[in-house]
Amino acid sequence: MNVQPPININPDLDFLQQFSNSFDNLQFDNPYLTVKIDGKFHEIDELLRIDNILESPVYLSINVQSLNSKFECLNSFIADLVSKKINVEVIAIQECWNIEYAELLQIPGYHPFIFHQREGMRGGGVGFYIKEYISFEIVQDCSHFENKIFESITLLLSHPCNFKIFVTSLYRSNGTLPNISPNEQKRRFNVHFDGLLSKLSQKRQKSFIFSDSNINLLNSELMRHLMNI
């Protein structure tokens, strides 16, 4: 019986071996090994089959990429949820872009749109729609805004039953900035994010951060930093 020699007798040129080693290293380096990730997609009618969905308030987070152009679609979507008795108390918005006439962007049953937008630059911006029966105030020390790097707004919500909660809408662009390297942009984002988490933790109230941060969560180095904050 003739036995064919291996194609590559040099182990360094053995692709299969190299791939296996790399895969093992990636698994060992994976920050998600102990984290259960279970994301689900639901059509609106499927939401009604979720336990207690009609008794519990719902918080939404949406990147609209121009509220002016997407408002009618958003308004129709919220009206559809309301018609099915789904109580959407908070709508966090990222990339609202430039708002000139906020009074034209009113959703029935909600406070007028609360937002921070860029100065001297188009795009970006963050904001909230909050149900009318909930009072709110903007928390300035937790609403840092630096164009493209860290755009945020934080509200303290006060429910009629004296229940209080902090909510933050946060956006980080993946676009470039003149004279600032991508690594420097990420570093500054991390500094601001550290500061936000620190300030919110000092408030000693429940808080939620709704974010479109353009972060590759498969980047284990960055993910470790975020998990260690």
Is 138 domain-assigned? Answer: yes
Q: Select from 214, 216, 111 the least CA-distant residue to 170.
A: 214
CA–CA gap between residue 214 and residue 212 (Å, rounded): 6
Q: How many domains does the chain have?
A: 1
Quote the mean pLDDT of the chain.
85
The predicted structure's pLDDT at residue 60: 95
**pLDDT surpassing 90 at residue 32:** no
Helices (H), 65-120: 67-83
Say what the alpha-carbon torsion angle 202, 207, 212, 217 is, to the nearest 10 degrees. 70
Is 11 domain-assigned? Answer: no
Is 127 domain-assigned? Answer: yes
Is 36 domain-assigned? Answer: no
- Which range of residues forms the domain containing residue 172? 43-227
Is 32 domain-assigned? Answer: no
CA–CA gap between residue 134 and residue 89 (Å, rounded): 8
Is 135 domain-assigned? Answer: yes
119 or 44, which is more confident? 119
Among 42-51, 175-184, 217-226, the range scoring the smallest mean pLDDT is 217-226
Q: Tokens 């470039």 map to which residue?
A: 176
Tens digits of residue pLDDT in 111-121: 999 999 999 99
For range 14-39, the mean pLDDT: 59
Q: What is the pTM of this model?
A: 0.80
228 or 191, which is more confident? 191
**pLDDT surpassing 60 at residue 18:** no
